[in-house]
Structure 1
């Protein structure tokens, strides 16, 4: 049967002085009773019986047992107080009954609640008391009995130390488990924050690129709607296709965050774009009105997935900013160079972006897109340069280190 949280045991643990006081009274009563049963005969009989118990012996037995009541407060002091009446009982030839149990309880208490040094002092004090009783009693109980008492005392001390070490070990295990739990929670929070940051960058790249292209196309359609309706129609079709592409990519990114129960269906997970998709990206920018060109230099190689996506997003963000800020007559160049052990990606334009609008949002704060680019490039140990271009315009240049597969 389990003990309820508010049961007697819990109450006694919360009030140890009451329980220990009751234990001291029980030990005193049992010791006086056993001393009365054994106390007969003449004290001059050498190894014979003890003196008849009287009020003095009862008082001494009580004094030997009462320190148990304060055993949790000052157990070492209580041992010293308990041993003095024991020596007096031996000197006056009184039988102490079970009063020696009080000393054992106190030795056990010191061994379980105090350090090694104090517990050794307690064991030594109890052993010295046994020797003193032999001397004070004139060898009445004999060395054999006192030796047995010393062995029992040391055994109780060893058991108490074992209990203390086990408690310390269990407390260390609990503390270690709590530390591991806190570390795991911290790692989980950090992983979630990193994942949220990654998803935010992906969403920004997708939304900013496609919405920027759609905005430019809508502006172009508005300008030619009355004079060139066919051109306006083509622009609207491009906006429609761009919107569908944006929705498809957003579902692919957000879908990984939704469980089957929340989504009701399996999310559409499309492959992440990479450097192989740059021709299509450049074509989209041309359709949106930015005169963009793509050059690929060197021997193409298979890139690590992370670098492949990071380089693609860099080009996408740079071209999107050129479309938004470089001006209507601007041109852009994308250069991808594959060198041994390195990938270089460079996006330039000759527009009015050199005044710094490429690197800042409309509210004059650093744009999230370029912040995301910096994080992506730094994540893979790359070097990034963003700034004005010689001769006018703006430049975004990144170098990614690669492992040379020919080594």
Structure 2
């Protein structure tokens, strides 16, 4: 291609030779994209043919004006940069070595005196620039791939932690209630069968609710994996379900007093779910570890933050208490993801306290007053 474009203009300036070579290289676009080594070989062949040219033309041109003839190798340097950017390091080294040897040989045969050193330096600089550009493109592409891989790994880890928190908070509470109800039923089944039947009904209801939550989580995971919306699922729990959670905890033998205060307004789904899960985990710990018959849940809707507190007057942390499980770890992760604060620890007068403060976005409407109770 280069030979056809430049062969008809043997007396053209070096700039014309360089532009013609680049125009000829553009004709190899399809080959460059699919087979860069083959495109490099064609560019080398065409540029060399244009340089050596017809013998009569070479002898007719003075040596000083013949210097620009070697700019035809700009097409070779362009393709060489693409090879370095897209092929393996071994293929790139071979391509650079072959291009360097061919250009050095041709320049050595057809340039003399000062022209030899000038043309050799120009060829070397042009080749170095094309290789440097190719290496830069390669490094940027590899860096982008590595960055994307790290982002994917971090996203997978975050999703695994989220699923672990959801399963722990949902299953731990339900299993704790079921275990206590089963113990109650086993103790009174002979003497008070009606109370035993109530315990079995509570176990059945809690089991069904847990299975529904697990099914919702699994359906969500399958749909996310397939990238389909699928049928509409039941909504995730939130602070509106605290009374139902308190009733289930009461069936397990711990009476829950719920107090609400502040100006209530619709909450973002992630804050609503996290607040519910924090209360759920705190109540699970009360049922399993506190050894008390009552506790208090306080929910306060502030202008800038949502406050959730669960306190009891039980025995606090014991050797196998909640501080040694995953519940409090999950609470801290939830609060940390929302930029909030969590205080967990024994109360000075006895018992245990869990308090979370979650920042709220700026209100978008008129708040609805929620009466404390």
User: Is the counterpart of residue 199 in structure 1 residue 227 in structure 2?
Assistant: no
Contact 2:253 / 2:293 at 8 angstroms: preserved in 1?
no
User: Is the counterpart of residue 388 in structure 1 residue 346 in structure 2?
Assistant: yes
1:110 corresponding residue in structure 2: 124
User: Is the counterpart of residue 346 in structure 1 residue 304 in structure 2?
Assistant: no
Q: Deviations over 1:316-346 (max 9, x none)?
A: 000001000111x432111112233232111
Q: Deviations over 1:129-179 (max 9, x none)?
A: xxxxxxxxxxxxxxxxxxxxxxxxxxxxxxxxxxx3xx6545544433332
* Higher RCO (CA-CA < 8 Å; seq separation 6+): 2
2: distance between equivalents of 1:354 and 1:261? 40
1:334 corresponding residue in structure 2: 297
Contact 1:353 / 1:394 at 8 angstroms: preserved in 2?
yes
| Number of residue-to-residue matches in the alignment | 298
2:357 corresponding residue in structure 1: 399
User: Is the counterpart of residue 211 in structure 1 residue 175 in structure 2?
Assistant: yes
Q: Which among 166, 175, 191 is matched to residue 139 of structure 2?
A: 175
2: distance between equivalents of 1:71 and 1:246? 70
Instruction: Name the Cα RMSD after superposition.
Output: 4.5
1:302 corresponding residue in structure 2: 266
Q: Displacement of 1:387 after TM fit? A: 0.5
Contact 1:389 / 1:395 at 8 angstroms: preserved in 2?
yes
2:278 corresponding residue in structure 1: 314
Q: Displacement of 1:353 after TM fit? A: 2.5
Where 1:185 maps in the other structure, the secondary structure is helix
Q: Displacement of 1:265 after TM fit? A: 11
Q: Displacement of 1:266 after TM fit? A: 4.6
Could you say if the C-alpha distance between residues 397 and 106 of structure 1 is closer, same or farther in structure 2, counting changes exceeding 3 Å?
same
Q: Deviations over 1:109-147 (max 9, x none)?
A: 4243246xxxxxxxxxxxxxxxxxxxxxxxxxxxxxxxx
Deviates more, 1:242-251 or 1:70-79: 70-79
Structure of larger gyration radius: 1
1: distance between equivalents of 2:204 and 2:252? 13
Q: Deviations over 1:189-228 (max 9, x none)?
A: 2112111111111111111111111111111111111111
Aligned structure 1 segments of 4 or more residues deviating by more than 4 angstroms: 73-84, 102-108, 167-171, 259-268
1:271 corresponding residue in structure 2: 235
- TM-score normalised according to structure 1 size: 0.60
Where 1:353 maps in the other structure, the secondary structure is coil
Q: Which among 236, 247, 250 is matched to residue 211 of structure 2?
A: 247
Where 2:233 maps in the other structure, the secondary structure is coil
Could you say if the C-alpha distance between residues 381 and 271 of structure 1 is closer, same or farther in structure 2, counting changes exceeding 3 Å?
same
2: distance between equivalents of 1:110 and 1:333? 80
Contact 1:349 / 1:394 at 8 angstroms: preserved in 2?
yes
- TM-score normalised according to structure 2 size: 0.65
Could you say if the C-alpha distance between residues 113 and 169 of structure 1 is closer, same or farther in structure 2, counting changes exceeding 3 Å?
closer
Q: Which among 190, 200, 206 is matched to residue 226 of structure 1?
A: 190
Where 1:318 maps in the other structure, the secondary structure is helix
Could you say if the C-alpha distance between residues 175 and 388 of structure 1 is closer, same or farther in structure 2, counting changes exceeding 3 Å?
same
Contact 1:387 / 1:395 at 8 angstroms: preserved in 2?
yes
Q: Displacement of 1:77 after TM fit? A: 11
Contact 1:382 / 1:400 at 8 angstroms: preserved in 2?
yes
Could you say if the C-alpha distance between residues 233 and 378 of structure 1 is closer, same or farther in structure 2, counting changes exceeding 3 Å?
same
Could you say if the C-alpha distance between residues 387 and 217 of structure 1 is closer, same or farther in structure 2, counting changes exceeding 3 Å?
same
1: distance between equivalents of 2:338 and 2:224? 33
1: distance between equivalents of 2:98 and 2:224? 63
Where 2:264 maps in the other structure, the secondary structure is coil
Q: Which runs of 5+ in 1 are unaligned?
A: 39-68, 88-99, 116-163, 361-365
Could you say if the C-alpha distance between residues 262 and 375 of structure 1 is closer, same or farther in structure 2, counting changes exceeding 3 Å?
closer
Where 2:265 maps in the other structure, the secondary structure is coil
1:72 corresponding residue in structure 2: 100
1: distance between equivalents of 2:127 and 2:335? 58
2: distance between equivalents of 1:287 and 1:175? 63
Contact 1:71 / 1:109 at 8 angstroms: preserved in 2?
no
Q: Deviations over 1:216-263 (max 9, x none)?
A: 111111111111111111111111111111011111112122149989
